[in-house]
Chains A and B, each alone.
Chain A
Amino acid sequence: MASYSTNEFRGGLKVMLDGDPCSIVENEFVKPGKGQAFSRVRLKNLKTGRTWDRTFKSGESLEAADVMDTDMQYLYSDGEYWHFMHPETFDQKQADQAAVADAIQWLKEQDICVVTLYNDQPLSVTPPNHVELEIAETDPGVRGDTATGGTKPAKLVTGAVVKVPLFLEEGEVVKVDTRTGEYIGRVR
């Protein structure tokens, strides 16, 4: 497997550290005037999602991680696995609960997600930034109240709970930003 030297470290580069695949977030060059140079690197552990700060001697290298972000369509869940399909090759992958993690609450069949493959197996799943989901449960709507700015919790069909304006009813479809969990608007 290829390896990368500190001077090739860039944001987004995938490398192996302590046996886990990581993504480089930041790399800062550190060097006292005539002294040894270092790279102060922030990495995100792609398995645990945790952030690591490590300092390397300049010129040290890390093995490349066989990690690839792939756009895949979410098909269905059998309760144990979540199944995804490559829209062109029709290649299918099954992701376990650890890989799907927080994305579960946003997964709607047929939506295109980013599936991060590590050694060709799903490591994590990122839902689309914006999803449109139906409200499954919420308190009855307050008619005509479109201006006060009040909100109430609404449970969506995928299980996510989002704050929505008071006038919305069960069965309506809302657009939500999955990165913040915030309501964006009503889909008519």
Chain B
Amino acid sequence: MDIKTQIQQREDFYKKIREYFLQQAVVEVDVPVLGRYGPTDLHLASMSVLSGSTRYYLQTSPEFFMKRLLAEGSGDIFAICKAFREAETGSRHNPEFSMLEWYRCGFDLPRLMADVRSLVQCFLPGLAFETRSYAEVFESRLGLNPHPATDSELAELALKNTGFRGELDKAGYLDLLMSECIEPDLGNQACFLLDFPVCQAAMAKIGQDGSGHQVARRFELYIDGMEIANGYLELASAEEQRQRFEADNLARKARKLEKMPIDENFLQALNQMPDCSGVALGLDRLLWLLCRDRGLVEDTGINLEKVLLFPWHRL
């Protein structure tokens, strides 16, 4: 792709996204990229900067600020922004990347998934979608229901299917099996995976699936085996969210990771937040798929560099 085409593709892409949300009456918000707080998640490393003697974190997603707006009565909102994640470099990752995140008040997950689908189909019109539960996909490929599975059962599966011998926690084994065994099997169409294991709930509500297992009310959209979007039925309880943050910090301590300060402004807002669902979508990845669909990038596996004007190593 020459430089003009590359610039034009992203411009058209953003224009269409904004048109879509205009039709849906979802309002664009411009939220800070620097915040006083970062996520407590074990596997999200924030980059930080000092202003005077105060430390600010480059946001790994606009979630904290957007939820504060929802609590203050913003109604449905979306943001197109930059997100930053330390040390994430690879063909599907760049430490600075572009993210689309949006929230729909009163939406449950099926409605939000339909919304995601309508948006994606603006760009990939021929794409077929299916929805499967995490448990069904996992069990049909690996023969084990992931929800009641123990660490040692998962370790055994990991060894048998990937040769992995290292030590992980439950969520880690699930991540390994997901990326090594399941993602490559998801096919080249679009697939929503629904109802995640509770150890991966993050900021989603917990519910029960058809077989009575506790599940996180969360979905991921995969296209061509690649993770594109991650949606939650949003947890709106400050109390429960605080417990999860504190549990994260304990786990961080056990791994000698930095303890992350807890964002009290955010927690306070959660109790005022309306019932809603929200989703984050990787814009660079979707743009790559779109360019591939138009024959503008070679179909030899994803390489985000093809759609980034200045990838990390060219800064």
Residues of chain A having any CB pair with chain B under 8 Å: 7, 28-38, 40, 53-58, 60
Contact (Cβ within 8 A) A31 B88? yes
Given known A29-B88, A55-B162, A55-B176, contact A34–B202 (CB-CB < 8 A): yes
Cα of A3 to Cα of B162 in the assembled complex, Å = 23
Contact (Cβ within 8 A) A38 B44? no
What distance in Å separates the Cβ of A8 from its nearest Cβ neighbour in chain B?
A: 12
Contact (Cβ within 8 A) A36 B91? no
Contact (Cβ within 8 A) A36 B171? yes
Contact (Cβ within 8 A) A38 B163? no
Cα of A97 to Cα of B124 in the assembled complex, Å = 57
What distance in Å separates the Cβ of B232 from its nearest Cβ neighbour in chain A?
A: 11
A-B contact count (CB 8 A): 65
Proximity string of chain B (140-182) to chain A, C-beta cutoff 8 Å, 1 when within and 0 when not: 0000000000000000000000111010100110111011100
Considering only CB atoms, which chain A residue lies closest to B220 in the complex? A33
Residues of chain B having any CB pair with chain A under 8 Å: 41, 43-44, 87-93, 162-164, 166, 168, 171-172, 174-176, 178-180, 200, 202, 220, 227, 230
Given known A36-B43, A36-B176, A57-B166, contact A31–B200 (CB-CB < 8 A): no
6 interchain pairs, CB-CB under 8 A = A28-B90, A32-B178, A34-B202, A35-B178, A36-B168, A36-B172
What distance in Å separates the Cβ of B91 from its nearest Cβ neighbour in chain A?
A: 7
List the A side residues contacting B172 at CB < 8 Å. Answer: 35-36, 57
List the A side residues contacting B220 at CB < 8 Å. Answer: 33
Contact (Cβ within 8 A) A35 B163? no
Contact (Cβ within 8 A) A28 B91? yes
Of the candidates A29, A30, A35, A40, the one having the most CB atoms from chain B within 10 angstroms of its own CB is A35
The 3 A-B residue pairs with the shortest CB-CB distance in the complex, in nearest-first order: A29-B90, A35-B175, A36-B172
